[in-house]
Amino acid sequence: MDINIVKLKKYASLCSVLYVEDDELIRSATASFLGRFFPDVVLAEDGQQGLEIYKTRAFDVVITDINMPNMNGIEMIEAIKQIKYGQAIIVTSAYNDSENLMKLIELDVDKFVLKPFNNKQFLYVLYKIAEDLTYLKEKKTLQVEVDKALTMAQHIVNEVNVGIVLIKNNVVTMANNAFLKIGGFDTFETLQLEMPEIGVLFEEASHCVSAATNEELIKELQSVKKEESIVRIILNTKTIEYQVTLTYIEDDDSYILTFTDVTALHNALHTDPHTKLPTRYFILEKIELLKQKSSKLSVITLNIKHFRNVEKIYGKHASLEIEVEFAHIIKSIKERRCPASFVGYFSKNSFVIIPLVMDDAKEFEDELKSIKVMTDTIEKHNRNNSEPLELFSNVQNITIDTTKEMNQIEIDLINTFDFM
């Protein structure tokens, strides 16, 4: 159970907590513990008091005991669920009560901590909830920005850089210049001849809309939530995502589809800020897309040998600099040897390459194996030592069984990295 304390404090700073516990000693000690991370913690002595406080304001997390006077934890949770069903709740209990456990599961409570508290376990539960809540808040903020862009897109004309398509009787009757650029068409006539069913343009992906015909595309867009109306195109090895708004024009019995590029928002959530590479989420999403096409997938995993000692010798700043340089070298080799390949940052000192086209596979792999990292920081260190220190890559070519579930594939990838 790895916990990033810096991230926990960051996440927790945005979250408010209602803590309900009738035992004064436990309440006081736990409140002090929570206060180290959460700046907004409100206490209640029993379920009745907790419910009254809850009615006065919103809380991101509710932590409650089960057995309390006046109103027990389960009764309070039932009342809270009537107010806000999706409320994040952690239940604490001194013993394993199967009857209460089943009732709590029925109430959709899935976070439990046994007393006396194991601080690390308790901290991990808090970390995961705070992380999820922060992600949802960020996602809602980004969605508000997208919604604003879509509202504007519905009123713009052909000259603006938002793709607009008009479909009547399942036939594309108009497409603006921005949409022609999306599909790689030079004229509207070319689109009509080569791709009259525009749904074929879009890639299949777990969270994206795709369809074989215009009729199916419209039905898919009508059936998904607004935030899920995303389509994806791979153009010149680059993945681009668009949020689609579907508007029905009753007087003309036609549909207007607007396409707003949300790639930057997507990448902001799924690109490592230092290496500028797709993160683990994006790597697994890529594999999930490719696993639909083949039962086997060749993947290259690589990292820096003996990297775990780098931070001890040079410090965090230098180790990050070394990792960024390593990523830069990998990208450079990829562009020369196999530009169509996908390169991702799986985790600290862990990189994944999915070579989509491999004409010179051996030369590509050999060059990756020959990587030598020598930053200014290392060179400066070497001048003060008799033996120069060089960092080399550790490369493995593996085959992924794509018939496995994604969580098992993720574990298999983790196990391939050699951190010696």
Would you list the domain boundaries of the chain? 5-135, 154-266, 271-416
Grade residue 79 by pLDDT with cuts at 50, 70 and 90. very high
Average the pLDDT over each of 2-6, 8-12, 164-168, 315-319 and give the range with the smallest value: 2-6
Grade residue 116 by pLDDT with cuts at 50, 70 and 90. confident
Assess whether pLDDT exceeds 50 at residue 154.
no
Structure tokens at 325: 């340089």
Percent of residues, the chain, with pLDDT higher than 90: 23
Class of domain 271-416: alpha beta
What gap in Å lies between CA 8 and CA 21, rounded to an integer? 23
DSSP string, 62-78: EEEESS-SSS-HHHHHH
pLDDT of residue 219: 92
Give per-residue pLDDT as tens, 357-388. Answer: 665 667 788 888 888 766 665 666 555 554 55
DSSP string, 94-157: SS--HHHHHHHHHTT--EEEESSP-HHHHHHHHHHHHHHHHHHHHHHHHHHHHHHHHHHHTT--
What would the mean pLDDT of 239-264 be, rounded to a whole number? Answer: 88
Grade residue 50 by pLDDT with cuts at 50, 70 and 90. very high
Asked if CATH classification 3.30.450.20 holds for the domain at 154-266, the reply, yes or no, is yes
Assess whether pLDDT exceeds 70 at residue 189.
yes
Q: Which amino acid is at 124?
A: Y
Spatial neighbors of 15 by CB under 8 A, at least 6 apart, are: 38, 40, 60, 61, 129, 130, 133, 134
Assess whether pLDDT exceeds 50 at residue 108.
yes
Structure tokens at 11: 């996440």
Spatial neighbors of 122 by CB under 8 A, at least 6 apart, are: 33, 113
The CB density around residue 35, as the number of other CB atoms within 10 Å, is: 13
Nearest to 16 by CA among 55, 42, 44: 42
Residue 240 to residues 202, 293, 360, Cα–Cα distance (Å)? 10, 20, 27
Grade residue 157 by pLDDT with cuts at 50, 70 and 90. very low
Find the angle CA(164)-CA(167)-CA(169) to the nearest 5 degrees: 175
| Cβ proximity of 391 and 372 under 8 Å | yes
pLDDT of residue 153: 46
Specify which of 214-228, 256-270, 363-377 reaches the highest per-range mean pLDDT.
214-228
Q: Would you say the C-alpha torsion 48, 51, 55, 57 has a positive or negative sign?
A: positive
- Helix (H/G/I), strand (E/B), else coil: 344: strand
Residues 13/16/18/24 CA torsion (nearest 10 deg):
30
Domain 5-135 fold: Rossmann fold (3.40.50)
The CB density around residue 37, as the number of other CB atoms within 10 Å, is: 20
Do domains 154-266 and 271-416 share one topology? The answer is: no
- Rounded mean pLDDT of the chain? 83
User: Residues in the chain, how many?
Assistant: 420
Which pairing describes strands 372-373 and 391-401: parallel, antiparallel, or unpaired?
antiparallel
